[in-house]
Amino acid sequence: MDKLPGIRPRQSLGRRLDMAARRGFPGSTTALLLLLTAAPIGLPGQAEVQASIALASVFFWSLFRPASMPPAVVFAVGLLVDLLGYAPPGVSVLTLLLAHGLALRWRRVLVRQGFLLVWLAFVGVAVGAAAVQWALTSLLIFRLLPPGPGVFQAAIGAGLYPALATLLTRAHHTLAEPEQA
């Protein structure tokens, strides 16, 4: 129930579709990026790039547009990463949900900071996510894996975030003010 007095006209179908598209943009573009990076292009470390793109997108949108990246969407993105990648089912889901929770917890502080502090926070999340994925995968396959791929994934994530954040920031501002596009 609205607490403000007055009569409001019903929203048109076009306006409702526009709002739904804006709300669904972060999840759908993340899924599209994951599908594009799953294409067999022979890129070395393609699985790590895919996981890093998912982590960076979830972290960014959870920080700057949390209503558009609810836990159900994060779960779906994690499931897509698990299905497209080589990780045991559930590992990426749990990792992305943890990153989402951290982004929401730190949101009040980080959205007021500059890019460098946000990037450093993401680097910490990327290192933690790689460690969690390494530990869970080792636990699920009953043997200790070499830590090299996890370190590589954290480094790829840290290196990819500035470029991806630049594109996502432009998209975020376009979503907020479509007249400025």
Alpha helices in 65-141, H assignment, sequence order: 71-84, 91-110, 115-141
Q: Among 158, 173, 171, which Cα is nearest to 56's?
A: 158
Q: Where is 61: in which H helix or E strand?
A: helix 46-64
What would the two tokens of residue 4 be? 């403000």
Q: Which residue has the higher pLDDT, 181 or 147?
A: 147
Q: What is the pLDDT of residues 32-88, one digit of tens each?
A: 999 999 888 887 878 788 999 999 999 999 999 999 999 999 999 999 999 998 778
Mean pLDDT of 87-96: 92
Q: What is the pLDDT of residues 152-179, one digit of tens each?
A: 999 999 999 999 999 999 888 887 665 5
pLDDT on residue 146 = 93
Separation of alpha carbons 111 and 63, rounded Å? 7
The encoded tokens of residue 157 equal 């994530």
Q: What is the pLDDT of residue 85?
A: 83
Which residue would you say has higher pLDDT here, 150 or 45?
150
Secondary structure element (H or E) that encloses residue 33, with its range: helix 13-37
The token duo for 33 is 């990026």
To the question of domain 13-180 being in CATH 3.90.320, the answer is: no
Give the pLDDT band of residue 181 (cuts 50, 70, 90).
very low
Predicted pLDDT of residue 174: 80
Task: Check residues 6 and 12 and name the one with the higher pLDDT.
Answer: 12
Three-state DSSP at 111 gives coil
Flag the least confident range among 28-32, 136-140, 174-178.
Answer: 174-178
Whole-number average pLDDT of the chain: 89
- CA distances 110 to 24, 107, 160, Å, are 23, 5, 19
> What band does 14 get if pLDDT is binned at 50, 70 and 90?
confident
